[in-house]
């Protein structure tokens, strides 16, 4: 006697049910992404602020005090210490209250993405005296040499940024040249193999300096007023904003304990 077995195929879900399921999964994924973003946003902002604060003292050798300012054609406005994100000028002073220089942010498109930098400018020397990269996605081992190459970084120990007689723009535009071909003190000696990244740094400095330095020159007297004495903030690695042992004055001043 032959016994025939019958296989019962399960019902396939309808296309509408599949779409609904995918929609629910997508909504849940989006919800968790937003939840994680919101949960970490404050910490990310705090880390960025702390890194920027330390970077100011890196690009302004000799500075131990930082004061935040907002600079525009309307004038120079002093900001409180916690308004780092609203500032576009960071003035650095030494222990005697003498202005060492100012730190300014700049950016330009590199090879992989936008490169964000911070540079120090000494008004008395009319020169860029410090440089550091705040954000970069350049190719490891090539483009990221703008952050580590000693010869490239030496460009920014005394890079001329003198204004013209009218005080409206740079007397000589800052430009990046091929490696080992620098002949002028306003030129940046580039990096072989990282040409695009090095050129982006020069472009960022040129555009920022032409925009910001004339405004700074017009309001320099407001920067040279020595800030009042204040307490010393925690050293690098200690969190701020009420975490740890930091105390921030209400006069809008942050004091660096040492030069990184």
pLDDT attached to residue 210: 98
pLDDT attached to residue 45: 59
The larger pLDDT score, comparing residue 131 to residue 46, is at 131
Stretch 3-16: mean pLDDT: 64
SS3 189: strand
Dmax (CA) for the chain in angstroms is 111
Residue-averaged pLDDT of the chain: 83
CA atoms of 71 and 91, how far apart (whole Å): 11
Residue 15 has pLDDT above 80, yes or no: no
pLDDT tens column, 214-225: 999 999 888 877
Cα 222–Cα 226–Cα 230 angle in degrees, nearest 5: 130
pLDDT attached to residue 38: 67
CA atoms of 45 and 164, how far apart (whole Å): 38
- Of the candidate ranges 25-34, 151-160, 204-213, the one whose mean pLDDT is the lowest: 25-34
Cα 96–Cα 99–Cα 101 angle in degrees, nearest 5: 140
pLDDT tens column, 66-90: 999 999 988 999 999 888 889 999 9
Residue 240 has pLDDT above 70, yes or no: no
CA atoms of 176 and 190, how far apart (whole Å): 6
């Amino acid at each position: 006697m032959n016994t025939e077995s019958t296989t019962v195929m399960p019902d396939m879900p309808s296309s509408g049910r599949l779409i609904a399921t995918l929609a629910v999964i997508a909504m849940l994924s989006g919800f968790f992404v937003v939840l994680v973003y919101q949960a970490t946003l404050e910490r990310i902002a705090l880390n960025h602020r702390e890194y920027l604060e330390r970077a100011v003292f890196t690009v302004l050798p000799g500075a131990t005090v930082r004061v935040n300012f907002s600079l525009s054609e309307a004038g120079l406005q002093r900001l409180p210490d916690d308004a780092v994100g609203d500032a576009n000028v960071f003035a650095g002073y030494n222990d005697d209250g003498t202005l060492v220089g100012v730190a300014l942010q700049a950016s330009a498109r590199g090879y992989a993405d936008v490169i964000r930098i911070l540079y120090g400018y000494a008004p008395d020397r009319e020169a860029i005296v410090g440089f550091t990269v705040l954000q970069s996605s350049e190719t490891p081992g090539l483009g990221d040499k703008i952050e580590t190459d000693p010869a490239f970084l030496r460009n920014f120990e005394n890079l001329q940024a003198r204004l013209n007689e009218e005080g409206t723009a740079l007397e000589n535009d800052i430009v990046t040249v091929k490696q080992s071909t620098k002949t002028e003190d306003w030129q940046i000696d580039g990096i072989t193999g990282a040409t695009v990244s090095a050129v982006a740094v020069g472009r960022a400095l040129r555009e920022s300096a032409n925009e910001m330095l004339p405004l700074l020159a017009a309001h320099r007297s407001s920067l040279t007023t020595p800030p009042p004495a204040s307490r010393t903030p925690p050293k690098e690695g200690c969190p701020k904003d009420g975490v740890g042992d930091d105390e921030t004055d209400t006069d809008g001043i942050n004091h660096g304990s040492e030069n990184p």
